[in-house]
Structure 1
């Protein structure tokens, strides 16, 4: 047992060969599962009566409504559901809500310009390519694409036809380009306003780090998107969006219609454990305040940029009360930055094993939370964030630098 914990502490068990082997095994198993899932489906409807690409159906339906000049209808649950059913010949598929700001209709219309299956394929392939390019640009080591592709959150996102690849590409790309192309970095951050809950802490990091050019570019991009959508679509669509936020907040978030075991936030954990709405909001607010303060300190400190980037990605997932397991694709960006830092400077005790746990965690967290009420995703992300802050504090000279560093 002592030898076992020694290997966990040092991370010696996770060699490059084992990482490659584990990735190949998981990649093959998930690929087989996807092929079987599609082959067993009845056309575009799977064996559970859900559309192939589940959540993508709301994007496609919203795009179809926009092509018909009925974009505001996408924010009405009844009309949106009818549009989703129409895609599949009126079959009684489940409802998938459209919760995005009006300027995201441009992407939805592009997807809906093709037949459903081709639109889904284009949606996933292009966004997945962006995510893989971003991770490879961070780590810059041969074979990086393999564990990045085998990251379980990738397959969860594919199964749901979701947009987490876009989110990870925007955040990761902005962080990769922050020093070399600050204006481009700001534009990518501004585009993230399509899913604003993941951008809450980014302005704090930019201001604390004195990244004025990037901050200005992000603000101008977000403003330009809002103005353009007003000019093209008018006030009506924004009014429909504003009204729809009540449904999103009360039914989707507070009542947990999505399923508490799928949501990876502290808010969801409190609700899953029987806590009231006010207690859940209070707990989430305290966590958000702690994250904001720590991010501001970290981005003003002398710590490595890789640690700052990894912390911001992780904190961006922790700060929002509504983060699904497919959104954990963004955690892949945090793992990539922390891995790059460790490969250059060595890994401290338990760090490499924790990175491995964070990598496999998306595969387990929904099942474990559903069976036991243990929010594994939340726990692992908080552990990872604490480890990042500890390393940053060592580099900044705030705490004693341990002699446990050893290059992998």
Structure 2
């Protein structure tokens, strides 16, 4: 079979498979929503925004007031260890424009915003293959981590779109804007925690400065809005959340029995990731940014299934940069591992993330060795030329 025919057949098969998966996932989303309109995380964002407007932002993390707001919208939800608002204040602020709307309309308006963020991230990162690039968008909808995040109303797609914009702006020589857009990371910081430090080790000083200013301003605004008492309450809520077993079950903490050892291993992974980013700092910015996302997820202290949306973004960034063709198979394996997470758990995904870092480390070392050999050869060539010039000069004098 000719190569062109094989390629067309592969594209057709991929389009059909992803379309079936996307339709099925959308059906799951709609049926779950129909069964219980309030069984999602947006309910807590909406309630938190109403709470802040009515009682002041200093009381945002008051569990009693959160319960009042949940009751006011008739959610039939009781505040519990996994059912409470513990996100940073800017996420509640972002939902303020939706609070005048009835809850159900607000939910679908928020879903439309998230869907727009998905399309934006796809447009900015999908490999340029014409209409075939639509397969990546359909595949995203058909991938469980993405559709699960959409169903919950999680802000992961907003963070993904921000990182995608950062990558695009870096490649179009707009570093300050590239950094500033990372202010969206405050919505859920653990999703891309290593991206700002990655900009620093890449030598993208202006981009890092833009990120530091944008994130810093939002942090300061949050501290002012919460006040000392509100900040203390927020830190207490975060400390409690970090101790909930479900929040650690999808991290390395589930596989290493000692928590202190786990934190040390996660710190080593973060340092390893930034060292690899430094190795890959020259050339296309998409490669080191994808590494920062993968390493950040592997080193995360707190993770949920929908957070793997960022792994999909990392894959698109990687595919957009120069890469060996065989790595397609590895990426596909990691995507399948994430799809089957409800069956076999987080282990295969974590192994895939660490394996990706290892493979990229080997590739980076080989690349450096190749550069060293090339520089040595160029130096030897220049030496030989200089020696030839000297011989010519001597012959001319004689």
User: Do structure 1's residue 244 and structure 2's residue 258 form an aligned pair?
Assistant: no
User: Do structure 1's residue 339 and structure 2's residue 328 form an aligned pair?
Assistant: no
Structure 2 length as normaliser, TM-score?
A: 0.81
Which residue matches 1:170? 162
Q: Unpaired segments of 5 or more residues in structure 2?
A: 1-6, 374-398
| Cα displacement (A) at 1:108 | 2.9
Change (3 A) 1:210 1:118: same
For 2:171, what is the secondary structure of its paired residue? coil
Q: Given that residues 101 and 194 in structure 1 are in contact (C-alpha distance below 8 angstroms), is that contact kept between their aligned partners in structure 2?
A: yes
| Cα displacement (A) at 1:306 | 3.2
Q: Distance in 2 between matches of 1:252 and 1:228?
A: 23
| Cα displacement (A) at 1:191 | 2.9
User: Do structure 1's residue 287 and structure 2's residue 269 form an aligned pair?
Assistant: yes
Q: Deviations over 1:229-258 (max 9, x none)?
A: 456x3625xx42343323323x32233144
For 1:185, what is the secondary structure of its paired residue? helix
Change (3 A) 1:290 1:230: closer
| Cα displacement (A) at 1:61 | 0.9
User: Do structure 1's residue 152 and structure 2's residue 149 form an aligned pair?
Assistant: no
Q: Distance in 2 between matches of 1:284 and 1:360?
A: 24
| Cα displacement (A) at 1:304 | 4.1
Which residue matches 1:319? 299
Q: Given that residues 186 and 215 in structure 1 are in contact (C-alpha distance below 8 angstroms), is that contact kept between their aligned partners in structure 2?
A: yes
Q: Deviations over 1:116-140 (max 9, x none)?
A: 1122212222122122222222223
Q: Distance in 2 between matches of 1:89 and 1:33?
A: 21
- Give the aligned CA root-mean-square deviation in angstroms: 2.9
For 2:213, what is the secondary structure of its paired residue? helix
Which residue matches 1:18? 13
Which residue matches 1:309? 289
Match of 1:101 among 63, 72, 88: 88
User: Do structure 1's residue 38 and structure 2's residue 25 form an aligned pair?
Assistant: no
**Residues 200-279 of structure 1: pairs in structure 2 closer than 5 A:** 200-229=193-222, 233=225, 235-236=227-228, 239-249=229-239, 251-258=240-247, 260=249, 263=250, 265-270=251-256, 275-279=257-261
Change (3 A) 1:104 1:35: closer
Q: Distance in 1 between matches of 2:181 and 2:328?
A: 30
Q: Given that residues 152 and 360 in structure 1 are in contact (C-alpha distance below 8 angstroms), is that contact kept between their aligned partners in structure 2?
A: no
Which residue matches 1:81? 67
Q: Distance in 2 between matches of 1:70 and 1:88?
A: 22
Q: Given that residues 63 and 110 in structure 1 are in contact (C-alpha distance below 8 angstroms), is that contact kept between their aligned partners in structure 2?
A: no
Quick check: which one's helix share is greater?
A: 2
Q: Given that residues 72 and 240 in structure 1 are in contact (C-alpha distance below 8 angstroms), is that contact kept between their aligned partners in structure 2?
A: yes
Q: Distance in 2 between matches of 1:243 and 1:133?
A: 36
Q: Deviations over 1:288-315 (max 9, x none)?
A: 232233223332xx45433222212212
Change (3 A) 1:230 1:255: closer
User: Do structure 1's residue 185 and structure 2's residue 178 form an aligned pair?
Assistant: yes
| Cα displacement (A) at 1:211 | 0.9
Change (3 A) 1:383 1:355: same
Q: Deviations over 1:121-166 (max 9, x none)?
A: 1222212212222222222332242223323221110232211111
For 2:233, what is the secondary structure of its paired residue? helix
Q: Distance in 2 between matches of 1:118 and 1:400?
A: 60
Q: Distance in 1 between matches of 2:253 and 2:344?
A: 17
Rg comparison, structure with higher value:
2
Q: Given that residues 145 and 307 in structure 2 are in contact (C-alpha distance below 8 angstroms), is that contact kept between their aligned partners in structure 1?
A: yes
Residues 152-161 or 389-398, more deviating: 389-398
Q: Distance in 2 between matches of 1:399 and 1:97?
A: 53
Q: Given that residues 152 and 359 in structure 1 are in contact (C-alpha distance below 8 angstroms), is that contact kept between their aligned partners in structure 2?
A: no
Which residue matches 2:348? 376
Match of 2:105 among 87, 111, 118: 118
Which residue matches 1:60? 46
Q: Given that residues 67 and 78 in structure 2 are in contact (C-alpha distance below 8 angstroms), is that contact kept between their aligned partners in structure 1?
A: no
Q: Given that residues 267 and 283 in structure 1 are in contact (C-alpha distance below 8 angstroms), is that contact kept between their aligned partners in structure 2?
A: no
Q: Distance in 1 between matches of 2:150 and 2:32?
A: 12
Change (3 A) 1:319 1:80: same
Q: Distance in 1 between matches of 2:53 and 2:182?
A: 28
Change (3 A) 1:78 1:394: farther
Q: Distance in 2 between matches of 1:123 and 1:91?
A: 20
Which residue matches 2:120? 133
Q: Given that residues 149 and 306 in structure 2 are in contact (C-alpha distance below 8 angstroms), is that contact kept between their aligned partners in structure 1?
A: yes
| Cα displacement (A) at 1:398 | 5.7
